[in-house]
Each structure stands twice: as structure tokens, then as C-alpha cells.
């Protein structure tokens, strides 16, 4: 099917190409009646604007680039929904790139979106990304950027995240209130902000309760199911059995269950607390205690902050916004 051009619409309506372009952009030089006629004809003919061509003559493309480490994850799926719907309500389109936890692919997505002249970027960095310097090109190009979930503080960009440290502290404190005194932790990489802060919350809860755990009870790794599986196996070797584990993410918790199954370990023997939840949790034979994150709201707040920075007539100072998470409390006490 032939791409409909501005020239085609102009010919149909006996107008100039410039007049059609202005009408489609609601320019005040064009009468309201003409704008309506042009838009109706454009719709009838199946016209789609060439955003890249438009960006050559305008600083605004009404597009936002979104880069996430994965999408097959309840947290990111719900957060992306919040991003998409909020952007759509504000008249912006979303370009999505998935890095698959690969920092080189993340850099490729950044470069591609810069070349497409997006108005802004929202990024949740990979577990390999340890230095914010890879985003210097974004700054140099004058493109606005906001981190969400995983990112960097105090590097000149706004950062929207969950209260990782405090939420982890509350979650582990809840385990202690249930009677658990021996709590291991499958943590995220300490080069990652969320991995570091969630471990700090874990350690703070233990300190508050005067509980000492060996360093062997803390296994550092990534955020996926395979990390949970390998991490649990390492825990058994380095420390031994425990009756409670704090997993840095919900997928890590699933990985623990998978390894338990392969080793013939009864899942009811260990209570698992996960940072993050899932609608599938209810279907587990022994559901996790979850620290539920405001996933949709996180995506919503991220876009709202980015658009505030894009549309402001003044340069705004970057901010860090932390949203509270809620700990599930329906599990029974340790018998």
C-alpha cells in the first residue's frame, strides 16, 4: 500500500503542502474549518505522520523512549502500562526498547532513540550498568531523561523509585514479628541501587531486633529466576537450611521454589518474603509474603515528571521521588 504524503492530501483539497502541514499541527494561521477538512481527509486517506522527517524541522516529536531490562516480569509489565497510558493521555507516543540486562544493548537503544529525536527518555538500567556516564550523550543532546526503579541518584537526572530500604526493613521486620529469627537474604548486586538499598533494609531490620546473621547467609546475585535458583543452592552450601528467606525480587523467589523442587525440598519448610508481588502468587501451594510495589503508579509518576521537565519553560532541578510499598500481612505466625 502506498504511503500517503502531505502532497497527496494537498492535491485532493487544492491546498499547498505547507497549509496541510500547518493544519495537521493545528497552527493558528489556518482556519478551524480548513483544519477540520484536512484532518478528515488525512484520516480518510490513511495518512500517518513521518515523525523522523518532522523532527528535522521541529524540536518536538511527541515521542518518548522507554528502555527496560525485561518485559516478561509482572513489575515491568504493570509499570509499562502506567507509562503508556499516561503518555497517551498527554498526547505522546512511546518507543519501547528492551535491554535484556545487557548494557551494550542498552547503549544501542539509547543511540537509536537519540537518532529518532525522542523528546525524552525513561530508563530502568540493566544489572550490568554501573556508571551513569553512558547517559552523557543524552545530556549533550539536550534530551530529558528520568530513571525509574533502577537508576542513579545525584547524577543530574530525576529518579522515580520505590522506598527500597524502608520497604525492605518493614518486610523483614514483619517476618521477625511472625517469629522468624534466622532469615537469609538472596540479594541483588550491590552495584545496583535497588540491590544495595534492599540489603540495607534487611540488615537494619535484623539490627533493630538484635539478630545477628552470618555473612554466609547473604548471597549476592541478580534479579531473575535463574539467580534465585543458583543463589539458593549457594546458600545451602555456604550456610545451610533456614526457615525464612528474603528474596530481592519476586522472580528470585520463584527461582528458589524451582531449586527446592529439583532438590526434593518441601516448600512449606521455608517462608519466602519477596520484594514485589504477582497475581500468580495466590496459585502457589505456599504463597510468598510480598512487599507489593505501586507498579502502575510508578510508571505514571515517571512520565508525569518527564513531561514536566520537557514542557517547563525553565530548567528544573532533578528530584528523587520515592513511593511507599505495602507489606502483605495475612500469613500465619511461625509454629
Q: 118 and 131 in contact (C-beta within 8 Å)?
A: no
Domain at 30, CATH number: 1.10.260
The pLDDT confidence band at residue 73, using thresholds 50, 70 and 90, is confident
| Claim to verify: residue 168 and residue 274 sit in the same structural domain | yes
Cell numbers describing residue 314:
525553565
Residues 44 and 151 in one domain: no
In this prediction, residue 27 has a pLDDT band, given cuts at 50, 70 and 90, of confident
Handedness of CA 85, 86, 91, 93 (dihedral sign): negative
Helices first, then strands: H and E counts in the chain: 12, 12
For 287-327, the pLDDT digits (tens) are 999 999 999 999 999 999 999 999 888 889 999 999 999 99
Q: 37 lies in a domain? A: yes
Here the cell at position 74 is 509482572
Same domain, 41 and 102: no
Crossing angle for the helix pair 6-13 and 17-24, nearest 10 degrees? 110
Same domain, 146 and 181: no
**Per the domain annotation, does 284 fall within a domain?**
yes
Beta strands in the chain (DSSP E): 63-68, 93-98, 120-123, 144-148, 158-162, 183-187, 218-220, 244-247, 271-275, 289-292, 320-323, 326-327
Residue 328 binned pLDDT confidence (cut-offs 50, 70, 90): confident
Looking at residue 184, which CATH number applies to its domain?
A: 3.40.50.2300
Residue 330 lies in a domain: no
Q: Are residues 168 and 281 in the same domain?
A: yes
237 in a domain, yes or no?
Answer: yes
**CA-based max dimension of the chain:** 82
Tell me the pLDDT tens digit for each residue of 189-211: 998 899 999 999 999 999 999 99
Are residues 254 and 139 both part of a single domain?
no
> Do residues 172 and 195 both lie within one domain?
yes
308: three-class secondary structure by DSSP: helix
Q: Are 274 and 299 in contact (CB under 8 A)?
A: no
Task: Quote the pTM value.
Answer: 0.78
On whether both 310 and 193 belong to a single domain, the answer is no
Note down the domain range covering 14.
Answer: 6-49
Residue 178 and residue 287 in one domain: yes
Q: Which residues of 9-47 are buried (b: 16+ CB within 10 A; e: fewer)?
A: bbebbebeeebbbbbbeeeeebeeebbebbbebbeeeeb
pLDDT tens across 115-124, in order? 888 999 999 9
CA distance 236 to 63: 48
Q: Is residue 301 part of a domain?
A: yes
**For helices 193-208 and 164-177, angle between their N-to-C axes, nearest 10 degrees:** 40
- Residue 188 DSSP one-character state: P
Residue 275: pLDDT band (50, 70, 90) is very high
The pLDDT value recorded for residue 26 is 79
Q: Would 123 be classed as within a structural domain?
A: yes
Does residue 86 belong to any structural domain of this protein?
A: yes
Query: CA-CA distance, 112 to 35, in Å (whole number)?
Result: 33
Identify any residues that bridge with 291 across adjacent strands, giving them in sequence order. Answer: 275, 327
- 276 and 307 in a single domain? The answer is no
Query: Contact, 165 vs 200, CB < 8 A?
Result: yes
| Same domain for 153 and 125 | yes
Q: What is the mean pLDDT of the chain?
A: 91
Write the burial class of residue 234 (CB in 10 Å: 0-12 exposed, 13-18 middle, 19+ buried). middle
Residue 334, pLDDT score: 60
State the CB neighbour count (10 A cutoff) for residue 184: 28
Domain count, the chain: 3
- The percent of the chain in helix, strand and coil, each rounded to the nearest 5, is 50, 15, 35
What tens digit of pLDDT does each residue of 239-256 get? 999 999 999 999 999 999
User: Do 204 and 245 fall into the same domain?
Assistant: yes
Average pLDDT over residues 100-114: 93
Dihedral (Cα; 188, 101, 192, 85), 10-degree rounding: -100
Kindly state the percentage of the chain with pLDDT values over 90: 71
Q: Is residue 55 part of a domain?
A: no
Amino acid at each position: 500500500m502506498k504511503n500517503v504524503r502531505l502532497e497527496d492530501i494537498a492535491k485532493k483539497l487544492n491546498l499547498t503542502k505547507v497549509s496541510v502541514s500547518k493544519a495537521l499541527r493545528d497552527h493558528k494561521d489556518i482556519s478551524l474549518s480548513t483544519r477540520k477538512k484536512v484532518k478528515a481527509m488525512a484520516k480518510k486517506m490513511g495518512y500517518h505522520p513521518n515523525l523522523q522527517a518532522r523532527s528535522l524541522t521541529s524540536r518536538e516529536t511527541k515521542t518518548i523512549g522507554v528502555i527496560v531490562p525485561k518485559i516478561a516480569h509482572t513489575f515491568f509489565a504493570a509499570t509499562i502500562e502506567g507509562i503508556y497510558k499516561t503518555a497517551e493521555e498527554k498526547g505522546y507516543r512511546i518507543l519501547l526498547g528492551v535491554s535484556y540486562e545487557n548494557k551494550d544493548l542498552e547503549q544501542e537503544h539509547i543511540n537509536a532513540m537519540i537518532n529518532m529525536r525522542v523528546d525524552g527518555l525513561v530508563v530502568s538500567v540493566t544489572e550490568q550498568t554501573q556508571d551513569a556516564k553512558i547517559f552523557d550523550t543524552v545530556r549533550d543532546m539536550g534530551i530529558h531523561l528520568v530513571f525509574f526503579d533502577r537508576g542513579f541518584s545525584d547524577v543530574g537526572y530525576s529518579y522515580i523509585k520505590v522506598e527500597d530500604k524502608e520497604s525492605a526493613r518493614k518486610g523483614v521486620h514483619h517476618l521477625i514479628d511472625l517469629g522468624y529469627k534466622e532469615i537469609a537474604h538472596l540479594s541483588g548486586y550491590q552495584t545496583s541501587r535497588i540491590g544495595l538499598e534492599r540489603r540495607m533494609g534487611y540488615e537494619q531490620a535484623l539490627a533493630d531486633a538484635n539478630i545477628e546473621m552470618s555473612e554466609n547467609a547473604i548471597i549476592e546475585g541478580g534479579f531473575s529466576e535463574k539467580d534465585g535458583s543458583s543463589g539458593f543452592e549457594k546458600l545451602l552450601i555456604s550456610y545451610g537450611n533456614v526457615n525464612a528467606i528474603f528474596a530481592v525480587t519476586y522472580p528470585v523467589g520463584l527461582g528458589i521454589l524451582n531449586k527446592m523442587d529439583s532438590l526434593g525440598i518441601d516448600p512449606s519448610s521455608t517462608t519466602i518474603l519477596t520484594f514485589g508481588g504477582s497475581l500468580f502468587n495466590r496459585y502457589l501451594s505456599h504463597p510468598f509474603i510480598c512487599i507489593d510495589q505501586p507498579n502502575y503508579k510508578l510508571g505514571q509518576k515517571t512520565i508525569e515528571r518527564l513531561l514536566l521537565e520537557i514542557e517547563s519553560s525553565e530548567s528544573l532541578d532533578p528530584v528523587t521521588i520515592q513511593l511507599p510499598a505495602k507489606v502483605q500481612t495475612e500469613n500465619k505466625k511461625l509454629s
